Structure 1
Amino acid sequence: MSLQLDNLSVRRGGQTVLDGLSLPPLPAGSLTALIGPNGAGKSTLIHALAGLVPFQGEASLQGVSLRQLPPAERARRVGLLPQALPQGSGLSVYEFLLGGLRAAGASAREAEQASEAMLAELGLLPLALKRMDTLSGGQRQMVALAQALARRPGLLLLDEPNSALDLHWQLTMLDAVQRVVAERQAVALLALHDLNLALRSCARVIVLAGGRCRADGPPQQVLSPSLLAEVYGVLGRIEHSSRGEALFVLERLPS
């Protein structure tokens, strides 16, 4: 499984948001972070790949054009976790998962098995019978992730998946996504603002700025002081902890 982008462009409201984006294939089994400042085109790329925004150029998953897939097949192959949280409702968490999986074409038995397995995988079994409208924003975000993972897509798109999560659940979420993606050899693309999460969990980062790819590669190599200054307008650097883990240190704005 791999994702290939060739000359992908998006125009919205008469403005070019993504401009001829071409990338080496995104590999199966690992996480790729999509980073960059506000307005760089991160969410637009996620939405384009999910079929929510029209684009020019080509995006193919394992050699199959996403644009040419029927909507139902595209929904089966591509899983999206948007920034917007699922709405609170009178449904229980378990009913919410079942409904999403049945709508995606799973049989009743398949939906039950997948829902129970993913609730256990993410540590959400205590929430299974709770109503969605009683959950916190972070809990609803984790439930939405459970539904996306339970569908077993070949391409998983996560748009700022940590936005409503505390530190514990941020790590729980990313560790679970890493495990599931590695086991299934899926492709995962995450739009992130937190550079330390990208350093910790992603083997590759794609840096967008002005709708174009500014840099692409291993995060410790890509996130140089000069690139951080150019793209984000900040002074910062990558340090290493006593355990050898890479950490982003934000110093200050330029004088």
Structure 2
Amino acid sequence: MRELNPNDPPVCKRTSNQRNRRNTSNGTITFERMETEHYEQLVEERTLELARSLDREKALNDMKAQFVSMASHEFRTPLSTILSSIGLIELYDGHDHVHNRAKHIERIKAAVFDLTSILDDFLTLDKLEHGKVAIHRSAVLLRSFLQGLLDEMGSLATKKELQVHFRYRGDKETVTDPKVLRNILLNLLSNALKYSPSGKRVWLSACVSDKLITLNVRDEGIGIPEEAKASLFKMFFRGENAVHIQGTGLGLNIVQRYVELLQGSIRFRSSKKTGTVFSVRLPVHIDR
């Protein structure tokens, strides 16, 4: 007979004494029956758990369907660019067309970068959805870290003739996850550059106090329409004034999730045709 566990569910017991033909005991058999009320509660809990699992699965399938729909549209432009540029490179034969070939090779590189960015966004989102993004704390010299990010974005700023300004105030060292912080800021900076017309300005500013880092990315770009602000951080959402610009609609959703992983918050203010400021607040030292 099994040992009873105090954590076992309530049961009703009935013991039967088994006898043979000589009327001597062969032992006893105990029949256990779970009480109806507890059994119904258990079934209800399992049903709710199954419903939640089905909801998660449906949400994941919906996300994948949205990605396929988005990708089928967003992939067309870079793929067309690649194919047309390859065709033109084949025509540009000889030393007289070195410049033209180089121009189209750069167009191919940019198109491949766009395709890679789309896939990276989706893979990152998939990892976040499944809780597979781990935080790795390390000391970061923030001022030089931020300057390095601006250097990475320098070619895009130069290409669009944008002025980029950097301001820093406070302590130099923080403890955070540099990879996650880098993804947050590269996304916000690339958006600021992408949605700003040529000749405009972009700012990155950082203020570090005893307990808080405040990072602001400001631009003089197209701005965010009032009706779009409530949905800005939703997956695949894009404002009406941004749909003509290459993008997945995943970036800001990913940024928000990354900020939460670093125990911070993000907010913004924006006016259409005037520009946008994203403000990220993070602890100077994250707990884990």
So what's the TM-score if we normalise by structure 2? 0.27
Which protein has the larger Cα radius of gyration, Structure 1 or Structure 2? 2
Choose between structure 1 and 2 for higher RCO, CA contacts under 8 A separated by at least 6 residues. Answer: 1
